[in-house]
Amino acid sequence: MAYELKMPQLGLTMEEGTVSKWIKKEGDAIKVGDVILEITTDKLTNEVVSEVEGTLIQIVAQEGDDIPVKGTLAWIGQAGEKVGAAAPAPAVPFAPAPVAPVKSAADTSVIVIGGGPGGYVAAIRAAQLGAKVTLIEKQHLGGTCLNIGCIPTKCLLHSAELIEDIKNQGKEIGVEVSGLTVNFPQIIKHKNDISKKLTSGVAGLLKMNKVKKVDGIATFTGPKQLEVTKPDGSKEAMTADAIIIATGSVNAQPPIPGLKENPNCIDSTGALSLEKLPKSMVVVGAGVIGLELACAYAAFGTKITIVEAQATMLPMLDGDLTKIGVEHMKKMGMEFNLECPVQSIEPSAVGAKVVCKNKAGETVVFEGEKVLYALGRKANTASLNLEAGKLDNDRGRIIVNDRMETSVPGVYAIGDCVFGKAQLAHTASAMGEVAAENICGHDSVYVEKTNPTCVYIEPEAASVGLTEEQCKAQGIDYKVGKFPMAANGKALILNGGEGLVKIIAGKEYGEILGMHIIGPRATDLIAEGALAIGEEMTLDELINTIHSHPTVTETMREAALHAEKRAIHTSNK
């Protein structure tokens, strides 16, 4: 039986290769170990050798063809043997699916439910492609991100960073300040001003792209059938050629006894709206939201106590980054209590009392003027009536494919309300573009591997791709390059050199599998790692890219050098 010669996978991130040259031709005798052809990826040329003996009876992929990994290159068998009818038909070289013509405005109507970073981006992209777009928003344009999430939190953290820099670095760099005070109401006002500017900007963008905005709450009454309740109580039935659900997520309120009843227990929205700076705060949950707000309030002077049921914190980050971050937070005066699940919340003269069980099974109590519970978020789909819409979901999280399509043709879902994807603003925006493009006749898919995670603790951290822990769990052969911020001139200037860059690469080919950064500008720098993974770049390609000096970007090249045992500005051990 003929042997199918397939495109090999020459690295974990390789998706396709190009046939550059056939060494053998049809009819040639083949021995085990013979070089049959050469293939190229975007980074190197490789020889494909035979694992069987026989005759090259048919070449399927021609020189210059792009073939996916495991795609058919040729057939090897006995002289005169025909490739059987059951075998794949020879021939058509792999190529990306043809892009369908863009539909005109007259052809396509689109309703977007939700005006957050997923919804408004989807609406604008669909309008750019010619669709007639209506956006339904029940409260504020910009969603959680612009109003009560990413942007407001970063405003607080920017104020906190300035305070920390003045307190910890000011004297050393010759900026001595006496009587440093925290004007908390002004911090909140600045946060509100920034949010207002951005949400006003979104409204302007929608108007510029001729997106119609409808205020109201949308509910499914049937497949692709909506009823919108307006602010005045009136109702309107609506439908369209396509519907994009972009309702986001809301804070999850855990069923902790006494939590709901205590007005001093707040979620992240409450923490961004306080009128008075609390003297003490117990933060329940050591995830991204809890630790970001904890860093801000610790810098403002609030005594912070962290309570976490699990043994680890920030599991989405590489362990080396978490270790550095936790050490810094401890220097800020934050107290950590891990493996310490909350049992109940009780009234207290101070504000609230958090009753926990520690690792030893003992009852321990923590008091705070405020208790911030930050135990994740859940899909904001309760008001949609997914059952009436016949939309498959997992406890309210809508199930989609990589084109953002739901179980109902013509209905799409994006962002925090979907099942199994990262709950991040930039994730929602990327999904929004994918959904809009598919609706308007393009062939677009969402690819998670280039999606970075950013954590705005002090110092900030960012991660993309595989962590070292994930490589070990998956049995991947890898090598690691590290470079300390302490050896970088710009980082020394900015924060005294605290932090680290860590690169994970495939052991054999050096393809970038993951990049992890903690230190100054980490959340900006991570884009280079995402680009490297998306373009299947290798350590050599990072090394051969000249990085400007003096910048923090140099640390990424230095980490790549270290992975190849070529470090210049640090030890190669």
Tens of pLDDT, residues 21-57 = 899 999 999 998 889 998 877 556 678 888 889 999 9
Q: In this structure, what is the dihedral angle of CA atoms 10, 15, 20, 26, given to the nearest 10 degrees?
A: 90
Mean pLDDT over 174-186 rounds to 92
Neighbours of 353 (CB within 10 A): 20
Q: How many residues does the chain have?
A: 573
Mean pLDDT over 531-539 rounds to 95
Mean pLDDT over 405-421 rounds to 96
Tokens coding 33: 């170990």
Task: Classify 441 as helix, strand or coil.
Answer: coil
Instruction: Find the helix or strand (DSSP H, E) in which 153 lies.
Output: helix 150-169
* Whole-prediction pTM: 0.81
Structural domains of the chain sorted by starting position, each given as residue range(s) with its CATH number in brackets? 3-77 (2.40.50.100), 109-169+182-251+378-449 (3.50.50.60), 265-375 (3.50.50.60), 459-563 (3.30.390.30)
Task: Choose between 18 and 213: higher pLDDT.
Answer: 213
Task: Choose between 154 and 147: higher pLDDT.
Answer: 154
Please state, in angstroms and rounded to a whole number, the distance separating the CA atoms of residues 57 and 90: 11
Tens of pLDDT, residues 194-227 = 988 888 888 889 999 999 999 999 999 999 999 9
What's the chain's average pLDDT? Answer: 91
Least confident stretch, 63-72, 433-442, 469-478: 63-72
pLDDT of residue 90 exceeding 70: no
- Considering the candidates 158, 328, 426, 549, report the single residue annotated as catalytic: 549
User: How much is the pLDDT for 88?
Assistant: 37
Please state, in angstroms and rounded to a whole number, the distance separating the CA atoms of residues 337 and 323: 15
Task: Choose between 3 and 43: higher pLDDT.
Answer: 3
pLDDT of residue 504 exceeding 60: yes
User: How much is the pLDDT for 97?
Assistant: 39
Strands in 512-518's sheet, in edge-to-edge order, are 453-455, 461-465, 512-518, 500-506, 478-484
Rg for the chain, CA atoms, rounded: 28
Please state, in angstroms and rounded to a whole number, the distance separating the CA atoms of residues 409 and 225: 12
Tens of pLDDT, residues 249-273 = 999 888 999 999 999 999 999 999 9
User: How much is the pLDDT for 143?
Assistant: 83
Mean pLDDT over 223-244 rounds to 96
Tokens coding 76: 């090897």
Tens of pLDDT, residues 109-147 = 999 999 999 999 999 999 999 999 999 999 888 888 888
| Residues forming beta bridges with residue 303, ordered by sequence position | 280
What are the residues whose beta carbons fall under 8 Å from the beta carbon of 394, sequence distance 6 or more? 419
Please state, in angstroms and rounded to a whole number, the distance separating the CA atoms of residues 24 and 22: 5
Annotation says 140 is catalytic:
no
User: How much is the pLDDT for 196?
Assistant: 87
pLDDT of residue 95 exceeding 50: no
pLDDT of residue 183 exceeding 60: yes
With beta carbons less than 8 A apart as the criterion, state whether 339 and 306 touch.
Answer: no
HSE value, Cβ hemisphere, 13 Å, CA-based, for 153: 22
* For the chain, percent of residues with pLDDT exceeding 90: 76
pLDDT of residue 327 exceeding 50: yes
